[in-house]
Structure 1
Amino acid sequence: MERLFVFVQAMICLTDRGNHPRQSAHCVWLWAAVMAIACGGAIVGSGRYAFAQPAGEAVAIDDEEAEAEDTRPLYQREPFDLIKLDEANAGEVIKVVPVKRPLPKNPSPTATLEFSRFDQRNRKYQVPWRNIVEVKLFESMLVEEAQRLTNEKQYDEAYRFLEHVMNYYPQHPGLQEAVNEFLLNNAVEAFRQKKYIEVFSMLEELHQNSPRFRTETVLRGFDQAANALLKHHMDEGNIVAAQMLLTRLESSYSDKQVTAIANWRGQLSSMAAVKRDAAKKALTDQNMREAYKLVQEMLHIYPNVPGGPELAQQVANTYPLVYVGVTQPAADYEPNQIENWASRRAGRLVSRMLLEFRQPGAEGGEYAFPLGTITLSEDRQQLMLRVNSKINGVTAPLTGFEVSRRLIDLATIGNSDYTPSWASLVSGVQVSNVFDVYADFRRPHVLPQAMLLTRFSDQVSSPESMDGSGSYYLGGKAENEQQFLLKPNDPFARPGQPKEIVERYFASAEEAKQALMRGDIDVLDQLYPADAAKLRSRSDLEVRQYAMPQVHVLVPVSDHPYLENRNFRRALVYAINREGILKQELLNQEEVPGCQVISGPFPAGRNEVDPLGYAYDSTIRPLPYNPRLAFALALTSQFEIKTLAEKKGEKIGDMIEGIPMPEDPDMTDEERKLMEEEAAKAKPVPPAKALVIGHPATELARVACQAIQQQLTSVKIRCSLKELPLGLTHDPENKCDLLYVTAAVWEPIVDARRLLGPDGLAKSNNPYINLQLRKLESARSWKDVRDALHDLHSRVAGEMTVLPLWQTVDHYAYRKSVRGIGDRPVSLYQDVEQWSISPQVKTN
């Protein structure tokens, strides 16, 4: 009955084929079924039919209907399997949709395999296993093709096939054997081409993954590759690479397995022994820098030379020396300079402060008194400083009388360290029992400690002098290096503290990062924001974040007439795509918490409840990037500036070139003609001076300012850049109109005046700004402080006293051989007395 049904359906299809061309292929298969039945072919059905197609006629008809042959490599095609039938079915090979895996190992002859033809996916067929000669799976075909390509030395293409199988069919039983043969054959060919690194890598992978695969052959080839690679490194003078390779071989293989180990161990050990003996002599002669240098060279050649590790530890204990990589060298040494990163960093070494900012707290910063303890009375109207008579067993450098004198200096008009806010607060200073100093206040103050970030003495010592208040003094200076030496008998020194610190300057952040990874330096003081995440993956390095963010602003520093116009300053901010520069240019698309665009001059904190942001009003949103509005505002301000100048009888040129002065719509023809005649007689007014934007000689500032210049130019605002001398953050020639400033606004209560006041960076004479500053300094509670700072934020955002850009969170990195740096210092050398170092081995 079933056979009759198939026959009838085939006849209907063939007679109707001309009217329904799309059914042609289907009809051919039905007719093929009829032929198969007539020839005794296998057919099993229960509402579904499976059949073997006669090879001749059916294939020919199918070729007429099929699409063009797929010429792509097999691994790029849609997966399929092949079923080969027995002679009773004319040895038919059927291309099918991948069958269910795994296939049965010993199927019953009467059992059936269900499948769908590749070109008839919606129909299910069954064929008895007794009629199946072979089922070739797609993954087996991929492996066979990879083996063929390997034999033909087409290794790149063979790898693509194997990679596809490893990704999608990792359990295929023939995969590992094919990969092994591929690696061995590829390694042999690479050795002939003297590609020793490739040979080494392939044979090592082969031996590790399949240690029983042709072990003798693999290890013999691996030994030859290791020997050739070590010789290559030595011939190139790359001893570090040779040492690293030998150390790796020693840790994974025995001398019997790899004979190159013993051969090269002897050579490198002999070379290291020469350095070891020279270091011993330098140590005996008390030539400590030379001993340190020779020990490092010894470790780089062969760290396991007999007696080497012990000598290295002896030298490290006797003369601990640390190399610090910097991208901003110090030109001066002022530890409290708000806008100069390098000066703050290096200043901590040569000059101690009376009080030191240690870390941010719940309400303002937390401060330490290096000479003893400090206590604020409960009514906040008295500050007591207790000086310890001895520090680390050494007599303290100051007594209570010297400390009281410094407090009086800060309140004395005419003194170089005169601080108006302290002078208005303190009512008297007295000393009790030589070491207790009391400062009485006229009114309560929430954080008077913040005003005492000043030197021990008003007598500023040369950094080269050992009379300074810091633990270090300047030593020798070589090209791109500055030496800092620990002072003998320094009261703050601790056992194991570095006796010498060498700051090494790098012009680019990438060079500094590579030097740290190689081991040429021990510490890197500032990372490019995007590099921090990358270095965290290194097992030999630690990456840490500084406790306080930095605020980036553009500060007007000249009397340029356009910068005096509020609308023009706002136009500059609208013209700068701050979000784009920060995320794309500076962060390289990395998400760094705390890095964000800001609307004011104070740190924003990481969220709205972060105490770091107590001065920042988060309800004031940053101005959006809007170049059209920027252009319109610039034109408006240009008209305002020129009109005001004409009323004063002055002439000011255009800042926006190519834009004519708008006419008065009520002007008569006679008035217009008269104005044109006067304009023809008048001398042409040259364009206004282009803005000069100054920036420090750092990569980050350079990239940011180049982007700012490009965006200002795009809205027709003429400007140029000036890179400041190395280490400086101000223009000694006073030719800049705007300065790119990175400010450490750690304590806005006092730093607001240092940034915005008449004597601050912005040198603002705006009466409203100065009124807010006085209000801030007279605040009696933290609520009053926050209200005053938020009002100041609002006023600055409205007036654009400084042009806010963004806030960044900075990181530092160090090798694990350095200890005691701390997790979140506010500056690198904050805890330098706690540092210690152990011997290190260079890495490649």
Structure 2
Amino acid sequence: MKSLRVIYPLLLVCISVCLIVDLEFAVAQNDSKGKTKPDTAPNGAKDKDSAGEVEILPKLDQMQIPTMEELLKKPPVDWIVLENDAVLVVEPIYPRPDTLGQLELAFKESYNWPKPKSKEEIEEQQKMRAEMNFIHITLLDEKENPEYRIQRKSVKQIIHHEDHILKRIDLLLEKNDLKTAFELLLVLDRKHRDWPGFDQRQKQLLLLEAKDKQNSKQYLNALAYVQDLHTRDPQYPGLSELAGEIIDVMISQSVQEKVYRKAHYYLKRLESMYPRQPSVGQWKTTFLNESDSILKQAEQAASQQQYQEAIQAVSHAVVVWPTNPKLRDSLLRYQKRFPMINVGVLETALDETPYFLERESTRRHHALTQIPLFEVSRVDQIPHYQSRFFEQWEPTDLGRRADFILRQSYSPWESHPVMLAADITRHLRSKIAPGNTSYDERFDSYVRSISSTGPFTFRVYFDRVPLRTEWLLSEPVNSPPLWQNISTVQTDPETGPASTGEEIFVSSRFIVDHHREGIVSYSRAVPEPKDMRNFNVAQINEIPYRSFEKSFQGLLLGEVSVLPFLPAKLVSFFKDSEDFNVVQAAIPLTHVLQFNPESKPLQVVELRRALAYAIDRKKILTETLLHESRLLNGRLITAPYSTGLQVYNNQVPQREYSFPLAVALAVASQKKLGGQFPTLRMLCDPNPEAQAAAQEMIRAWSQIGLKVVLIPNTAEEAKKGTPEWDIVYRTVAMTEPVMELWPFLTVGKGARIESLEILPDWMRLSLIELDEATDWESATALIKKLQQQLYSMAHIIPLWEIDQFHVFRKNIKGYADRPLNFYDNVEQWIPEPYYPDVESFTRN
């Protein structure tokens, strides 16, 4: 019995070894290698050869995972692990992945095959089923006959090439070599992205990337990885905590920077992923408490009748936490008492810029802060004037005298002080007094004397009859009022201070209340009476944006309610919107190039004409400015004023683009300049569209050999003083060209005889003759002739005129249907209380 107990285990071991090393059962060589059947082969030789082969195979624990270079550059290989842990390195085997599992499944399914109907079919199925017990492999070291087959039951496991990649990725992740791990994962993604284990490594890599970005304080990138992993597996271990940590820091930073909209956006992202995350509730409570605290401050200010501070506090509370249920009533109550409008602009009049001429922001500023004695009410080929101060004006003595009667009462909504005849006569006398800082040589040539005939009446005597008395008096009276005590208005306890130090003139409309962080706030010079039932706009805030796109985003998000400018590509969008009204201005904006009369190179007419012919105006207008839009009309012009005016000469032909002619003129001018072109400096209106058009023209001029440099529109450049320039790109909106052309051509030097010295003789005589015209017909003929001369001699290059559009949110009422200036009728604007959509506060 003892001998049997010893012999029996030894016998089992021998049988197992034979099964492993026997080529008939373990490795069967290709039939071409020999004709000897496995059953008839000598047992001694078979065991020896097999034993020798197994002895040279490495064990699994001796194998090294392929390196990165081997995995990427060498041909892919698979490892076949036998039952004794010996490893065969072979070419990739199929089917894959899970070769053993797929073969086992196919073997089991073979018993479901249709029942054979003949002996041949029985043998065929038996043969096919027997074949499923083997795996076909190709050895790497065998050159003559590398193909073998190995019995499935002899294989412990198969490690595929893709499994090697995953193991190498695991090692890289342990070392935190995320970049290399990602490269390997990308290789596997391209080859076999549905490989078992791929998704798990990808998720692990995303989590580690998020942590790595978190450690390097790249929180936005970390959040992107978190969001990506959340879309794949919201319940991935540790993801919820990591998302809370990252977003908590981002919200804290946003709150510290007072950018609450960004903080709400991040909070909403966290809540959309993990609503039960503790940080969500904590931050909501924090924002609500801060908003309640601000509302209490607003109530205290309102109790002291400081409604300006109250509405500003409530507006801030809305930004801090828009879902506060107490906000709506407070906002509606205080906004109705102190109406305030936010206007989105691209620049303000107080911004520093080297551009010293009038621009869009200064035109808005002057229209908002000053009321001229006469102002243009509408333009129908010729301008029509109105006055807010005069009840009656009448020329007498064949136009040599004019009598004026002032209004004695004003409507409650009017924002200027009471004006007396003494205020006007004092101002006008200073303009005809040589040596006075307000002396106006051109005005003095018309007016002989001014006399006051009563508190609300005065008389003007003329040396020569002006073409339009209204235009001659179309300036504001920039002097303090003599009668009204403005200090009582500034300290009104109901409305708060009207000014923080800016002097109020008798023609003041709105004044600059404060200028902080680029935002310019304007308040009424004279606030409305406190017993009004419905209040008109009390304050206007011009909020600057870096680009058109940012200002449009601000309008859609409710940061501003009005935009004074719309480019062509967005007019149709706002016209189709139910939330906005689009208003077209009465006068288009004219774009024109003007040359410095004191620039020696540009005194050469051939050079000026070369610059003109080198510009493809139609292409720039269509592609750069209008964006091929038909809604925003634009037209090529030949004068620096609107084509709709009576004085515009339609008989002047358009200058067509001609590159050959431009080159010929450039060559001719080069000879006059000594054989070399100087570098020309160009000053451009800060308007972004003007800047874009200027860049296109500079590129066109470079093609004919002219180098033109654009002067940077920066505050640093402005600090250097008035720059030296040769060309200026201007935007103008003339309504009375007969009177405005002289100061336009002298480029900021005014309408003085001295300013004409920089102009050619023929232009001086033409301007003086135009200024001395005594009737409208002769003046029209003279300016049309001057237009033709200026265009043919290329002293200016009129480019195009573009219709202007403004957009108002529909809660704004009272604005003009066809305004000449953006702030026309601004005193009667009524902003109805508007509570922005809460969702808009959490958009990115």
TM-score of the two chains, using structure 1 as the length reference:
0.58
Classify 1:405/1:296 alpha carbon distance in 2 versus 1 (closer, same or farther; 3 Å).
closer
CA-CA distance at 1:371 after TM superposition: 5.7
- 2 CA distance for matches of 1:332 and 1:706? 22
The farther-off stretch of 548-557 and 303-312 is 303-312
1:627 — aligned with what?
A: 659
Distance 1:726 1:504, change over 3 A: farther
Look up the match of 1:168.
Answer: none
Partner of 1:536: 575
Answering whether residue 608 of structure 2 is matched by residue 569 of structure 1, we say yes
Structure 2: how far apart are the matches of 1:574 and 1:564? 17
Cα distance between partner residues in 2 of 1:492 and 1:361: 40
| Structure 1 spans left out of the alignment, 5+ residues | 1-190, 197-231, 246-259, 606-612, 643-651, 656-688
2 CA distance for matches of 1:728 and 1:358? 38
Q: % of aligned pairs identical?
A: 20
* Match for residue 736 of structure 1 among 689, 701, 725: 725
1:368 aligns with 2:387: yes
Q: What residue in structure 1 maps to residue 311 of structure 2?
A: 292
The match for 2:792 is: 798
Amino acid at match of 2:502: S
> After TM superposition, what 4+ stretches of structure 1 lie above 6 angstroms from structure 2?
235-245, 267-274, 300-305, 459-463, 490-494, 727-731
The 3-state SS of whatever aligns with 1:467 is coil
* Amino acid paired to 1:834: Q
Residues 12-38 of structure 1: CA deviation (Å, up to 9, x unaligned) = xxxxxxxxxxxxxxxxxxxxxxxxxxx
User: 5 Å matches for 1:404-553?
Assistant: 404-457=425-478, 464-469=501-506, 470-487=508-525, 489=527, 496-553=535-592
Contact 2:681/2:727, CA 8 A, preserved across alignment: yes
Distance 1:841 1:195, change over 3 A: farther
> Does the CA contact (< 8 Å) of 1:480 and 1:506 recur in 2?
no
Match 1:833 to one of 799, 821, 827? 827
**Corresponding residue number in structure 2 for 1:754:** 743
SS in 2 for 1:829: coil
**From 761, 772, 778, the counterpart of 1:778:** 772
Q: In 1, are the aligned partners of 2:369 and 2:511 still within 8 Å (CA)?
A: yes
Q: Distance in 1 between matches of 2:436 and 2:642?
A: 31
8 Å contact 1:598–1:806 — kept in the other structure? yes
Contact 2:377–2:383, Cα closer than 8 Å, also in 1: no
**1:400 equivalent in alignment to 2:413:** no
Post-superposition shift, 1:599?
A: 1.3
| Structure 2 partner of 1:83 | none
Residues 417 and 526, structure 2, Cα contact 8 Å, conserved in 1: no
- Aligned letter for 1:705? A
The number of aligned residues is 554
Cα offset, 1:725, TM superposition: 3.7
- Cα shift at 1:369: 3.7
1-structure distance, mates of 2:408, 2:563: 36
Deviation at 1:533, TM superposition (A): 2.6
Return the offset for 1:243: 13
Shift of 1:292: 2.9
Query: Which residue of 617, 640, 664 maps to 2:649?
Result: 617
Higher mean Cα deviation, 818-827 or 436-445? 436-445
Secondary structure in 2 matching 1:497: coil
Residue 297 of structure 1: how far off its partner (Å):
6.1
1:351 counterpart (367, 370, 375): 370
Question: Which residue is equivalent to 2:331?
Answer: 312
| 1:134-191 CA distance string (max 9 Å, x none) | xxxxxxxxxxxxxxxxxxxxxxxxxxxxxxxxxxxxxxxxxxxxxxxxxxxxxxxxx9
Corresponding residue of 2:806: 812
TM-aligned CA distance change 1:697 to 1:775, over 3 Å: same
1:707 corresponds in structure 2 to 696
1:822 to 788, 793, 816: 816
**Which of the residues 649, 654, 663 maps onto 2:676?**
654
Q: 1:539 to 1:378 in 2, by over 3 A?
A: farther
Range 568-577 or range 274-283, more displaced: 274-283
Change (3 A) 1:774 1:545: same
Does the CA-based 8 Å contact 2:393-2:404 persist in structure 1? yes
Instruction: Please list, as runs of the form range in 1=range in 2, the aligned pairs for 1:221-260 lying within 5 A after superposition.
Output: none
Q: Is the 8 A contact 2:568 2:632 kept in 1?
A: no
- Report how far residue 633 of structure 1 moved: 0.7
Whole-Å Cα distance in 2 between the matches of residues 556 and 770 of structure 1? 16
Counterpart of 2:219 in structure 1 is none
Could you tell me how far apart the structure 2 residues matched to 1:525 and 1:371 are? 30
Residues 506, 375 of structure 1: alpha-carbon distance in 2 compared, 3 angstrom cutoff: farther
Of stretches 614-623 and 532-541 in structure 1, the one that deviates more from structure 2 is: 532-541
Counterpart residue type for residue 285 of structure 1: A
- Counterpart residue identity of residue 591, structure 2: H
1:384 pairs with 2:387: no
Deviation by residue 1:122-141 (Cα, 9 ceiling, x = unmatched): xxxxxxxxxxxxxxxxxxxx
Shift of 1:706: 0.6
C-alpha RMSD over aligned residues: 4.3
Q: TM-score, normalised by structure 2?
A: 0.58
Partners of 2:545 and 2:335 in 1: CA distance = 25
Amino acid at match of 1:623: R
**CA distance in 2 between partners of 1:566 and 1:467 (Å):** 48
- 1:636 alignment partner, SS class: helix
Whole-Å separation in 2 of the counterparts to 1:802 and 1:313: 53
Quote the Cα distance in structure 1 between the aligned partners of 2:531 and 2:609.
Answer: 51
Deviation at 1:238, TM superposition (A): 7.3
SS at match of 1:403: helix
**1:59-458 aligned within 5 A:** 194=231, 275=291, 278-286=294-302, 288=307, 291-293=310-312, 295-296=314-315, 308-331=327-350, 339-361=358-380, 363-370=382-389, 372-376=391-395, 380-392=399-411, 397-457=418-478
Specify whether residues 396 and 292 from structure 1 end up closer, same or farther in structure 2 by C-alpha distance, changes over 3 A only.
closer
The code of the aligned residue for 1:634 comes to A
Comparing 271-280 and 811-820, the one that deviates more = 271-280
Q: Does 1:586 align with 2:607?
A: no
Residue identity opposite 2:517 in structure 1: E
Using the alignment, how far apart are the partners of 1:823 and 1:316 within structure 2?
A: 25
CA distance in 2, matches of 1:424, 1:340: 29
CA distance in 2, matches of 1:785, 1:616: 12
- Mapped partners of 1:296, 1:282: distance in 2: 10
Counterpart CA distance in 2 for 1:603 and 1:528 is: 19
Q: SS state of the match for residue 825, structure 2?
A: helix
Distance 2:398 2:614 in 1: 49
Are 1:789 and 2:751 matched, yes or no?
A: no
**Could you say what secondary structure the match of 1:694 adopts?**
strand
One-letter identity of the residue aligned with 1:784 = S
Following superposition, the deviation at residue 573 of structure 1 comes to 0.6
Change (3 A) 1:310 1:783: same
* Equivalent pair of 2:394/2:404 in contact (CA under 8 Å): yes
- Secondary structure of 2:692's aligned partner: helix
Name the aligned partner's letter for residue 676 of structure 2.
D
Pair 1:396–1:511, CA change in 2 (3 A):
closer
The corresponding residue for 1:187 is none
- Tell me which residue corresponds to 1:43: none
Cα distance in 1 for partners of 2:409, 2:717 equals 38
Distance 1:481 1:716 in 2: 43
Q: For the residues of structure 2 that align with 1:535 and 1:345, how far apart are their CA atoms? A: 22
